[in-house]
């Protein structure tokens, strides 16, 4: 006998792009929405009874409809409206929405380029809000080293007090209450400032400094989790080509890579 221990379902990767043409100066919001529901749906699995089951196609349509219904000027409010809509359905007991924003930089009143500086993430699950950032590529070309670490007969990495450190920051954090629309940008700026405002003896130290800075500066953030992969930049010896090697040329590598992860909370 098999027992259905857990089930959930939803619609993933719903691409929502909204263009608002206000007074000739356009505004765009480019989103990817993931929706996940839990509820009294055991009979769908065990008996093939689909009564009361919202179709995932309907979930997609709701994401577009709510985006169209008024200004899309706050991701927290947008995510909360989606959750509220699905929680009103009879058999739904839990609703979780994750929204990723893909930034565009303005070139003019009606022209844009795909912005750089991290993908915005906002989560809302049954009234609890969380923020996040993905694909935030940052680099330090000075003020970073790595020395004093454990050595044995397998260790070949030289110690250094001057190296390039690059990482692709992934972070997620929990808010106490509903954050303002400006909260995500403020946390991002805190992370960026803390990445380079002090000497770094290790990526671990820098990660901790970034998380600590967010908790210090943003009273409504209860916890933050950071993942910082080490995007290695290996010195490339050009002297083999008869050139003067001034230590200016590096080879970025994608794998293997170090992965540093930690959670800080109050």
pLDDT grade for 23, boundaries at 50, 70 and 90? confident
Enumerate the active-site residues. 11, 56, 232
Distance CA 221, CA 130 (A): 9
Q: Mention every residue, 6+ apart, whose C-beta is less than 8 A from residue 188.
A: 117, 118, 133, 136
- Neighbour order of strands in the sheet with 165-175: 9-22, 25-39, 92-101, 119-125, 128-140, 165-175, 221-230, 258-265
Q: Is 148 left (phi over 0), alpha (psi -120 to 50) or beta?
A: left
CATH fold, domain 1-126, is Urate Oxidase (3.10.270)
Same fold, 1-126 and 134-266: yes
Q: What is the pTM of this model?
A: 0.85
For 62-75, how does the pLDDT look when each residue is reduced to its tens digit (9 = 90+)? 999 999 998 899 99
- Residue 12 and residue 57 in contact, taking contact as beta carbons nearer than 8 Å: no
Q: Which of 48, 60, 55 is nearest to 91 (CA)?
A: 55
CATH fold, domain 134-266, is Urate Oxidase (3.10.270)
- Residue 62 and residue 85 in contact, taking contact as beta carbons nearer than 8 Å: yes
Stated as kind and residue range, the H or E segment containing 46 is helix 42-46
Assign 34 to helix, strand or coil: strand
Look up residue 157 and give its DSSP letter: P
Distance CA 34, CA 12 (A): 4
Q: Looking at residue 114, what is its pLDDT?
A: 82
Q: How far is CA 130 from the centre of its chain?
A: 11
Structure tokens at 261: 């992860």
Q: Which of 168, 188, 171 is nearest to 230 (CA)?
A: 168
Structure tokens at 177: 């209450």
Q: Dihedral through CA 153, CA 154, CA 160, CA 163, nearest 10? A: 170
Show me where the domains of the chain are located: 1-126, 134-266
For 184-234, how does the pLDDT look when each residue is reduced to its tens digit (9 = 90+)? 999 999 999 999 999 999 999 999 999 999 999 999 999 999 999 998 898
């Amino acid at each position: 006998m098999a027992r259905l221990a857990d089930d959930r379902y939803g619609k993933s990767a719903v691409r929502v792009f909204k263009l608002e043409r206000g007074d000739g100066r356009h505004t765009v919001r480019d989103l990817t929405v993931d929706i996940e529901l839990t509820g009294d749906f055991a009979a769908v699995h065990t008996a093939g009874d689909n009564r009361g089951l919202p179709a995932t196609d309907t979930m997609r349509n709701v994401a577009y409809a709510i985006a169209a219904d008024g200004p899309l000027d706050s991701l927290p409010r947008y995510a909360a409206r989606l959750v509220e809509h699905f929680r009103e359905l009879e058999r739904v007991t839990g609703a979780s929405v994750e929204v990723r924003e893909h930034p565009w930089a303005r070139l003019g009143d009606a022209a844009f380029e795909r912005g750089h500086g991290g993908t915005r993430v906002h989560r809302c699950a049954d009234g609890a809000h969380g923020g996040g950032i993905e694909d935030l590529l940052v680099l330090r070309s000075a003020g970073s080293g790595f020395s004093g670490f454990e050595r044995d007969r397998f260790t070949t990495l030289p110690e250094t007090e001057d190296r390039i450190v690059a990482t692709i920051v992934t972070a997620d954090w929990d808010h106490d209450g509903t954050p303002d629309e400006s909260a995500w940008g403020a946390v991002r700026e805190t992370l960026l400032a803390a990445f380079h405002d002090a000497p770094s003896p290790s990526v671990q130290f820098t990660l901790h400094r970034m998380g600590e800075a967010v908790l210090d500066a943003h009273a409504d953030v209860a916890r933050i989790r950071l993942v910082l992969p080490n995007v290695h930049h290996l010195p490339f010896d050009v002297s083999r080509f008869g050139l003067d090697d001034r230590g200016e040329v590096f080879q970025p590598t994608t794998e293997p890579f170090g992965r540093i992860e930690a959670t800080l909370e109050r």
